[in-house]
Chain A
């Protein structure tokens, strides 16, 4: 049988990516381009959309060429429906709607958060882990239960990556390749731990108060030579990551699961991975994590997740191929996992 192939578009934040994947998870191509702002500045919707407008079509060409596929080979075209910033999301949606009509291929709208989870699972081979999804826009502890990815804990204000990114602006760190990466490098030089607020509320976390506190403290302490930027980055990372490890551990207890998967841009942080690995080993479980090729937003994760849905009979009509800034992880019915469940049940029944 011919293998199924999907083309996927991701452009919900400051990266625009186009990927080609097959249903067994092979990534045939996955080019992307990141909108990098000057130090001290974040990315704004309008400018980010302009960046995507400039880069999306060359990326499509490059994705098809690298994958050595033609439009006829493609079974469906997938795009990020949400969550994310409106104007950047629209760029992918428009291109997909046009290509779908030109090539007469079906569309599949994909939830960005679910795509991170599925990409993490296929790349690492983690079967049914507790997932920590940490990025510039999202912070969630997720586990699969009864047909959906359920959010067990999340941030009640800003995302952990947003907290790190904005602190990088205070220190005027470069946004290339990403502010979080540069914080991680500076943190390696930290020696002194500075006490910061630690805000875990049940299964949820809050970062905005910590950011306000460290923004105010940093300027003062640096001026008086009481600490170095390294100390600040180190202390911030330790505090934020300890909070994340705590809520992940609590979710593991709830779900009775030993394995943890970390996905999302902040998931590349090796210190976070190290802290999580220690916690997992103490509970006799394993940590699954990936590097920046799969952690960070990319087109392949959208293509793969869309293809899973498509292979199980779902697609999005042109009229419904909208985008939305708010789209919760648990709104999606994970039909491809239900199907597996039935298959497993079928096997179990035969064995009886």
Chain B
């Protein structure tokens, strides 16, 4: 379903992939939509593609240098963790 860039031929030398299983199509899509808003800050050096299927979020990074890949990946993991924790804590019916 949702996809920013198709997994075509890698353009740059450095890349990595990550897959997260949310066990819920809805939650995976929420995280996808929340994180897709922010574009990569240096699109000429790093690019990021995301797809959602079967309740899983797959992320593909490519960069011209290892240090750009690392910086981008690490920043992404931080906000991914935040989005996931937000769902964990506020996704169910809240009891006050």
Contacts and interface: CB of A to CB of B under 8 A. Distances in A.
Contacts of A319: 37
A56 B90 contact: no
Contact of B90 (A60, A90, A94): A60
Interface in B47-87: 75, 78-79, 81-83, 85-87
Contacts of B87: 98, 102
Interface in A295-342: 318-319, 321-323
A57 B86 CA distance: 7
B30 A102 contact: yes
Nearest to B95: A70
A57 B79 contact: no
B89 interface: yes
Contacts of B85: 57
Nearest to A319: B37
B94 interface: yes
Contact of B38 (A50, A57, A64, A90): A90
Contacts of B91: 102
A94 B83 contact: yes
Interface string A60-83: 110011001011000000000000
B34 interface: yes
Contacts, number: 68
Nearest to A58: B89
| Interface majority SS (helix, strand, loop, mixed), chain B | helix
B32 to A, nearest CB: 10
B66 to A, nearest CB: 19
A315 to B, nearest CB: 15
B31 interface: yes
A278 interface: no
B90 A99 contact: yes
A91 interface: yes
Given A57-B89, A61-B89, A99-B86, A94 B34 contact: yes
Contact of B31 (A91, A95, A98): A98
Contacts of B75: 87
B33 A101 contact: yes
B1 interface: no
Contacts of A322: 37-38
Nearest to A64: B96
Contacts of A103: 90
A53 interface: yes
Given A95-B86, A98-B31, A102-B90, A68 B96 contact: yes
A232 interface: no
A97 interface: yes
B82 A97 contact: no
Interface string A86-108: 01001101110111011100000
A252 interface: no
B33 to A, nearest CB: 6
Contacts of B38: 90, 93, 322-323
A98 B78 contact: no
B20 interface: no
Contact of A95 (B33, B78, B82, B94): B82
Contacts of B34: 94, 97-98, 101, 318
| Residue of A53, A71, A98 ringed by the most chain B CB atoms within 10 A | A98
A200 to B, nearest CB: 37
B35 interface: yes
A275 to B, nearest CB: 42
A99 B30 CA distance: 9
Given A53-B78, A97-B37, A321-B37, A71 B83 contact: no
Contacts of A61: 89
A49 interface: yes
A98 B94 contact: no
30 contacts: A49-B78, A50-B78, A53-B81, A56-B82, A57-B82, A57-B85, A60-B89, A60-B90, A64-B96, A65-B96, A70-B94, A71-B90, A71-B94, A87-B75, A91-B79, A94-B86, A95-B83, A97-B34, A97-B37, A98-B83, A98-B87, A99-B86, A99-B90, A101-B30, A101-B33, A102-B90, A318-B37, A319-B37, A322-B37, A323-B38
